[in-house]
Amino acid sequence: MDQSSEKHGMPLLGDAFPEMKVQTTHGELDLPKAFKGKWFVLFSHPADFTPVCTTEFVAFQKRYDQFQSLNCELIGMSVDQVFSHIKWEEWIEKNLKVQIQFPIIADTGAVAQKLGLIHPGKGTNTVRAVFIVDEKGIIRIIFYYPQELGRNMDEILRSVKAMQISDKNGVAMPAQWPDNEIVGDHVIIPPAKDVKTAKERLKKAEAGEFECFDWWLCHRKL
């Protein structure tokens, strides 16, 4: 097949993040190798010097320390030249008193095409996509927003933390965690996959190992 005519779609959850060399405001980086052993959040934005994107970058930067405390890096991206990124960063620092410390990819369109980020009917503008990638380079979460809606960075931060807890403890995370309407800050024990385990669940609940509404809905504190 002629590679020039090859079409790329968005990677799926559980896929390895595609290997690529990217030019950024921090120099050339090899992804995902540059963040080996770390989680990272790659987020695309439609364009520099646009109002919603500016609010997003400030919001990400204000939470940068919290992401790093989770062994997680940030990297932005749009189809803009690196010079535009740099001038935009300077504008944000001068006018909003916020210094952007994470790298921003200056894409020619190749990265956006490879990740399936071009907004339908919007020319070369990228959507507001978010890829949360784990320390092994595996895509764990994908968020996909239209141009008109800015992202909730606290939800992205919560998602990274929740997935790390899930991986470490072999549990699932309830809606609104850590403030769920049913189980509060508890985590969910994955449903039993056989009759024997299902019967044992309620016995363990009676022994105080965890709490159950039924054998298929059990929860516990971390």
Please list the active-site residues.
Answer: 53
- What span, in angstroms and rounded, lies between the C-alpha atoms of 99 and 93? 5
Q: What are the CB-based long-range contacts (under 8 Å, 24+) for 99-102?
A: 99/61, 100/57, 100/61, 101/61, 101/64, 102/60, 102/61, 102/64, 102/73, 102/74, 102/75, 102/76
∠ CA 109-153-28 to the nearest 5 degrees? 35
- What span, in angstroms and rounded, lies between the C-alpha atoms of 61 and 44? 15
Q: Is 138 helix (H, G, I), strand (E, B) or coil?
A: strand
- What span, in angstroms and rounded, lies between the C-alpha atoms of 111 and 79? 9
Backbone angles phi, psi at 26, to 5 degrees: -110, 20
Q: Is 217 helix (H, G, I), strand (E, B) or coil?
A: strand
Helix (H) or strand (E) holding 113: helix 110-115
Buried b (16+ CB within 10 A) or exposed e, 161-181: bbbbbbeeeebebbeebbebe
Task: Please answer whether residues 47 and 55 qualify as being in contact, where contact means their C-beta atoms are separated by less than 8 angstroms.
Answer: no
